[in-house]
C-alpha cells in the first residue's frame, strides 16, 4: 500500500515538473559584432542591449555590462537611453545576475542571451544596443525583431543615433552586427 502511494506521488511530481518545464519556454538571442578600438579617446565600452515595443515601451534588458548593472547606470551620461527606461533600481538580484556580464572589449564579440519567452510574447519589438564612449557620448544601434509562433525574423541592426559630433563615423564603435535567434 505504501509502495503504491509512493509511486503515485512520484508520478504526480514528475508530471508536474514536466508541465512546469514545458510552460517555461526560453528564447535564445545571439548578438555578434566587431568592436572598434578607439585611440583618440578612452571609451568605457559599457554596453547594454534591450527590447522595446514599437511604441517605445520598455520590455526587458537582455544584456548589461557588470559595471553598469551594479551602479554605473546612476552616472550621468552612461547609456542614458537604457538607464531612463529600464528602472534598473527596481530589478531583483536574480534578474540582475541573469543579464549582466563582463564589459566587452574591442575585437570580435559574441553575446549569447536567454530569456523567458513569456516575458516577451509573440509580436514585433525594437532591439537596441547602446555603447558608452566617454562623458555623455554614446553610440546607439537599432533593429526590428518579430517573434511569431516560436520563430523570429530580424531586420538589419543599424546605427540609430549618436550625440551630434563632428565626424560621427569615427565614434561608431560597432560594425558587422549580426543577430541570431533560435
In this prediction the pTM is 0.81
Residue at 3 is within a domain:
no
- Percent of the chain past pLDDT 70, that is, above it, reads 81
What per-residue confidence (pLDDT) applies to 20? 44
Residue 34 included in any domain: yes
* pLDDT tens profile 51-75: 999 999 999 999 999 999 999 999 9
Indicate the range of 30-34, 70-74, 109-113, 135-139 predicted with least confidence: 135-139
Mind listing the pLDDT tens digit for each residue in 8-43?
655 555 454 444 444 457 888 889 999 999 888 888
Read off the DSSP letter of residue 20: H
- Return phi, psi of residue 56, to 5°: 95, 0
Q: Is residue 166 part of a domain?
A: yes
Q: How many CB atoms lie within 10 A of CB 83?
A: 21
Residue 72 located in a structural domain:
yes
Domain that residue 54 falls in: 26-181
Domain for residue 16, yes or no? Answer: no
Domain assignment present for 134: yes
* Alpha-carbon distances of 130 from 8, 80, 98, 99, rounded to whole Å: 53, 9, 19, 15
Question: Is residue 86 domain-resident?
Answer: yes
- Residue 17 belongs to a domain: no
H or E segment and range at residue 10: helix 2-23
Which helix (H) or strand (E) covers residue 67, if one does?
helix 66-69
Q: How many domains does the chain have?
A: 1
Amino acid at each position: 500500500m505504501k509502495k503504491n502511494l509512493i509511486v503515485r506521488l512520484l508520478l504526480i511530481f514528475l508530471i508536474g515538473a514536466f508541465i512546469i518545464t514545458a510552460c517555461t519556454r526560453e528564447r535564445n538571442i545571439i548578438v555578434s559584432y566587431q568592436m572598434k578600438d578607439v585611440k583618440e579617446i578612452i571609451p568605457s565600452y559599457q554596453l547594454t542591449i534591450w527590447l522595446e515595443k514599437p511604441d517605445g515601451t520598455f520590455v526587458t534588458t537582455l544584456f548589461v555590462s557588470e559595471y553598469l548593472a551594479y551602479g554605473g547606470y546612476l552616472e550621468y551620461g552612461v547609456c542614458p537611453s537604457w538607464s531612463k527606461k529600464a528602472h534598473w533600481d527596481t530589478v531583483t538580484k536574480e534578474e540582475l545576475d541573469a543579464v549582466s556580464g563582463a564589459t566587452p572589449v574591442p575585437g570580435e564579440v559574441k553575446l549569447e542571451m536567454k530569456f523567458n519567452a513569456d516575458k516577451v510574447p509573440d509580436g514585433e519589438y525594437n532591439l537596441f544596443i547602446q555603447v558608452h564612449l566617454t562623458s555623455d557620448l554614446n553610440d546607439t544601434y537599432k533593429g526590428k525583431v518579430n517573434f511569431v509562433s516560436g520563430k523570429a525574423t530580424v531586420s538589419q541592426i543599424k546605427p540609430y543615433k549618436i550625440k551630434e559630433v563632428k565626424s560621427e563615423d569615427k565614434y561608431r564603435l560597432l560594425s558587422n552586427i549580426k543577430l541570431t535567434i533560435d
